[in-house]
A and B are shown apart, each in its own frame.
Chain A
């Protein structure tokens, strides 16, 4: 099954039909999606800014991570589920939409950036956990994350304007 025929199939499922045709389904999902985004990106950015040495400079990086990430992951889960449901209603149009592709790519890159941070940079955190200005690799991870999340937000909004006209 090609990706396009998968999109056509998803659009025809009861969920796809509900999202597309229900009067309240779509706006409710968008509202929850934006709240999830605000919680997810809104908390991730303050950890990224800690990595950059801009926020909570006297708190250990590991403590800021431990306290903020459950909120970021919770928000991301809500955003991912509602986002998937929203796409199911317009899957074929989203498939060819440039902004959808940019958003998806930025999300994947943000995930890869987080993986590299955990697998490589964080391994020596004991040496810089309390540093007001973490090492270059950690600052770069923070900067890349902020930039990618900004791209996710802008591409997501542009996608909404080009797919749904609002």
Chain B
């Protein structure tokens, strides 16, 4: 992290970061967009995972229920990451040293990696072995809700 310190300092003093940091309205709007993306992402994960767990619509094919929420997860992730980067810029130097922020980034990386390397294929693959579906659904919920909780803790306890 020390090696990257000059980069984060430069990012924080950039024109974009300064403009965002000085405007409560702009920060609030970006935070709203971040939350909209998060609702799409977490809602999509919840609906998709509840089907994998066999809790909702168990008589409908897995791919039929998880298809659209899967696209919602990716769209929500892109919205959250882009708005999150813009919110991060004005506080880059302090945020990277914050333990809760580091936990959030770690959970986010794990959740995104798990989604693209494993979850998406299981959700698309259809009616697979029940245990595999349930494990994937449960871990998906735990990881993404963990990201949300860490995000809340970072904003509120910063």
Contacts and interface: CB of A to CB of B under 8 A. Distances in A.
A35 interface: yes
A18 interface: no
Contacts, number: 107
A64 interface: yes
A153 B32 contact: yes
Contacts of B157: 27
Contacts of B111: none
Contacts of A157: 28, 31-32, 35
Interface in A77-116: none
A162 interface: yes
Contacts of B125: none
B152 interface: yes
Contacts of A158: 28-29, 32
B153 interface: yes
Nearest to A149: B39
B152 A27 contact: yes
Contacts of B46: 38-39, 42-43, 71
Interface string A112-154: 0000000000000000000000000000000000000110011
A92 B44 CA distance: 36
A55 to B, nearest CB: 3
Contacts of B60: 56, 58-59, 63
A71 B67 CA distance: 19
B39, B40, B145 pick with most chain A CB within 10 angstroms:
B39
A46 B44 contact: yes
B17 interface: no
10 contacts: A31-B149, A31-B152, A35-B149, A38-B42, A41-B43, A46-B72, A67-B56, A157-B28, A157-B31, A166-B155
Interface of A: 26-27, 30-31, 34-35, 37-39, 41-43, 45-46, 49, 54-56, 58-59, 63-64, 67-68, 71, 149-150, 153-154, 156-158, 161-162, 165-166
Interface of B: 24, 27-29, 31-32, 35-36, 38-40, 42-44, 46-47, 50, 56-57, 60, 64-65, 67-69, 72, 145, 148-149, 152-153, 155-158
